[in-house]
Amino acid sequence: MRILKHVLMATFPLLACLAPPACPQTPASPEPLSCTAERTKAACLLAAAGPAQAAQAATHDVGASVGRLQPAPAETAQPASGAAAPLLRDGQLTLLFRNFLGTEWIQDTLDRRAWVQTLQANYVSGYTAGPLGLGFSVSPFVALPLDQRGDAGNFVYGHRLGGDGPTVFLGAYTLNARVGKAVFRYGLQRLSNPLLVSRDILSLPPTFQGLTAALPLSDRLMLAAGRLSAVKARGHTSLQALSSGYGGTGIGHVDFAGADWAWSGDGKASVYLDRASDVWRQLYLALTRGAGDHKVLRVTGKADLYATRNDGSSRQGDIGNQAYSLAVTAERGPHAVTAGYQRIMGDQFFDYLGETWGDALLNAMDVDYNAPHEKSAQLRYAFDGASAGLPGFSMMLWRVQGWGADARAGAAAQASPASPLYALYWKNGEPVHGSHGEYGIYPSYVVQSGRWKHAKVTLLAVLHHSGSHYADSSNREFKLRVEFPVKVF
């Protein structure tokens, strides 16, 4: 409670000056959960819409964290269809104040803590009139470290001019064009599709340089495509080269295309393809089907499948990997219980683009359970306060266990300590193998009324225990975020 008191004291006095009670505010956006760090994995869930709609996503780097709040990217806020709007008159400016407190311990590797206050200012213009509508968006970011211990890494942002003042930089910008219902964006932007989602779980989100396109063919069918060429990663204020999340292999560019089809209120399917130049080609398929009334009993099934193959000059070696997860959720009133199974079929780690939630498999929570031949199971409980007379409150508890990892084939191919993937396939002198598991809790509350309406408080706590020869070491994580969104105009 003492820590929470300090966080609130640091955040809200500033907000009171900038956002008086009469100032209109943006509603809190649906959120899932997830993680992050230096080279392991992480992931997510918990949609504010309720347990039945809990979305899954994932990613993490090396024994890092969970807790993905995912505000809707400002650049997606523009209408994709309808009458063209004057460029500046219909512009929107929103502010997102975020107070982030995180601690992370990884056995024999890392012990860090940071407390950071950030601001995301998101301006989105309207479109010019005519068959070709033009517009733009711009998002300055501000990060002020309040306290840190150890190597804070991507928890904090270094001051460009030295000293202890705030770091101010251009976090995102786009030039936008609309033709009919199709919207094209070029620039530094957040990603939001089932295959590539900006991993926004720390003090500020990463953004990606590139061209993206979205085309809603109907209320039920959406097409998306794009090419990415660089990333402004968490903890950095300048562009970095793209790389794979686990292998750390440099990627010149990533092309993607896909479709989401909600054929009914109870069913949805997704199919996406991506190509990381000279590294891999990947196919992602997902199917969700639900039945019943949650007031009595609703049952929802979800299947996710990835197939990955090496591409071009195969800079990360030969890849022949399939990965899938199956989940069933039973929901009654405010309670939902999910049980699921996940399997990796192949001699390589299941990998995805760094700085994204590129892993939508069920068990990609604090770590991804993505080692060669690994199997894993999860039991999860979600509580939706809106259905129990506690609007604004939600909570998730989970237990994941992984077993059967066997990286001997990959280790044989990377037998020399000088090999670029040696550290990935070898652990404590032996090929990666063994078991591991985690416990996690993720409560969240959105203020429903009064001066601080729409303020959101989320807490993530995870305990992960691993065998001495598994890729991810034992770790503990704690993340507290206090967010306050303000709509200026």
Q: pLDDT of 359-414, one tens digit each?
A: 999 999 999 999 999 999 999 999 999 999 999 999 999 999 999 999 999 999 99
CA 53 centroid distance within chain: 17
For residue 431, which amino acid is it? P
Given this model, what pLDDT does residue 195 score?
Answer: 82
Greatest Cα pair distance in the chain: 65
d(CA 383, CA 445): 12
Sorted by sequence, the CB contacts under 8 Å of residue 438 that are 6+ apart come out as 365, 366, 367, 398, 399, 400, 462, 463, 464, 465
Tokens of 417: 């300590």
Let me know how long the chain is.
Answer: 489
Domains delineated in the chain: 2-487 (2.40.160.10)
Given this model, what pLDDT does residue 130 score?
Answer: 87
Average pLDDT over residues 201-215: 95
Q: What is the torsional sign of CA 463, 465, 470, 473?
A: positive
Share of the chain above pLDDT 70, in %: 81
d(CA 177, CA 186): 9
Given this model, what pLDDT does residue 63 score?
Answer: 29
Tokens of 93: 């400016």
Angle at alpha carbon of residue 405, lines to 399 and 411, rounded to 5°: 145
Q: Give the confidence band of 86 by pLDDT, cuts at 50, 70, 90.
A: low
Q: Give the confidence band of 486 by pLDDT, cuts at 50, 70, 90.
A: very high
Share of the chain above pLDDT 90, in %: 73
- pLDDT reading at 29 higher than 80: no
Helix (H, G, I), strand (E, B) or coil at 236: coil
Determine if residue 163 is left, alpha or beta; phi over 0 gives left, psi from -120 to 50 gives alpha, anything else beta. Answer: left
Taking only the tens place, the pLDDT of each residue in 288-346 is 999 999 889 999 999 999 999 999 999 999 999 999 999 999 999 999 999 999 999 99
| 412 CB-side CA count, 13 A | 4
Sorted by sequence, the CB contacts under 8 Å of residue 369 that are 6+ apart come out as 41, 342, 344, 361, 363, 376, 400, 402
Gyration radius of the chain's alpha carbons:
22
d(CA 399, CA 379): 5
d(CA 351, CA 254): 14
For residues 60 and 367, the answer to whether their CB atoms sit within 8 Å is: yes
The secondary structure element, H or E, covering residue 118 is strand 110-124
Identify the DSSP state of 43. B
Closest CA to 300 of 257, 330, 262, 260: 330
Given this model, what pLDDT does residue 165 score?
Answer: 77
Tokens of 299: 């049952």
Given this model, what pLDDT does residue 163 score?
Answer: 58
Average pLDDT score over the chain: 83
- pTM of the entire predicted model: 0.82
Residue linked to tokens 């004057």: 86
Taking only the tens place, the pLDDT of each residue in 118-174 is 999 999 999 998 899 999 999 999 999 999 988 899 999 976 555 567 899 999 999
Q: Give the confidence band of 247 by pLDDT, cuts at 50, 70, 90.
A: very high
d(CA 54, CA 439): 18
